[in-house]
Amino acid sequence: MAREFEVRREQDLPATPEQVWDAVATGAGNLGWLYPMEVEPRVGGKATRGDSTVVAWEPPRHFAVRATQDGGFSNTLTYRIEPADDGTSRLRMGIHWVHTGVVDDTWRWDAKSDAAEKHVDFYQHGLAEYLRHFAGRPAVYARAQRPGPTDDPADFAALRRHLGLPEDAVVGDRLPLRVPGRDGGPEEVVVDWLSTDFVGLRGPDALYRFFNGSTWNVPIWLGHHLFAEDADEQTAAKAWTAWLNDTRA
């Protein structure tokens, strides 16, 4: 018997349908808020979201990719974009998992579905932040992670302290952030997301994203979207890896 799971979200976005399309359906756009995903622009084209195939391509309204794996698993990501009267857009997105194989402990189905729900909310918020503050700007994506998994919430609490986040911090707070690998003084950042599982900071030329692995017993990691003209992926990843490994509890 097939097992299924769906995440569906709707949101109003401060951008035209064409701008939203460029953000969700192109490699350059995905670097600004999601993760590297190149897209071959046609039905049947390939996308680098695992081993994915484009199954819907109707710019600027409907885009979908489907990934399949051994063991009877498929994962379809869908975006539908509707224009609004004021030049903004309404986005309907969905993720649909189907597993027709044997679901055993290795799948950790409950953990995967919980992670999917929470990551979707964090990423969709990041999409709005990107469109509001950085739409169309070239981006570099820098990723770093700890070498092993953790199930200790104290690890992410230590990371928050290392960022300079007070215990009573709230979304909208401003704080100085000394960016690893960058000369000069700290830059002012705004807290744009704050929860048990994620921290989001917005700088003048970056969206800084931190992911708590202890919730799902995976490594703590970060994935930053850098918009400065001199941003370099390898340099930033190396500097942030060193910073991340200095934040252990």
Residue written as tokens 């051994």?
A: 70
What residues contact 105, with CB distance under 8 A and at least 6 apart? none
Contact 187, 203 (CB under 8 A): yes
Q: Across all residues in the chain, what is the average pLDDT?
A: 92
Q: Give residue-wise pLDDT tens across range 188-217.
A: 999 999 999 999 999 999 999 999 999 899
User: If you average pLDDT over residues 112-139, what whole number do you get?
Assistant: 95
Side-chain-side CA neighbours of 170 within 13 Å: the count stands at 1
Residues in the chain: 249
247 confidence band (pLDDT: 50, 70, 90): confident
Q: Which amino acid is at 120?
A: V
Q: What is the pTM of this model?
A: 0.94
Q: What is the mean pLDDT of residues 131-149?
A: 96
If we measure between CA atoms, which residue out of 120, 79, 62, 72 comes closest to residue 97? 72
Question: In sequence order, what DSSP letters do the residues of 187-219 get, joined into one string?
Answer: EEEEEEEE-SSEEEEEETTEEEEEE-GGGTTS-
Mean pLDDT for the stretch of residues 75-85: 95
- What confidence score (pLDDT) does residue 98 get? 84
Per-residue burial over 159-181, b if 16 or more Cβ lie within 10 Å, else e, is bbeebebeeeeeeeeeeebebbe
Report whether 40 contacts 46 (CB < 8 A).
Answer: yes
In the DSSP assignment, the letter for residue 84 is -
Position 109 confidence tier, pLDDT thresholds 50, 70, 90: confident
Do residues 77 and 8 make contact, with C-beta atoms less than 8 angstroms apart?
no
User: How confident is the model over 12-36, as pLDDT tens digits?
Assistant: 999 999 999 999 999 999 999 999 9
The answer to whether the CB of 177 falls within 8 A of the CB of 187 is yes
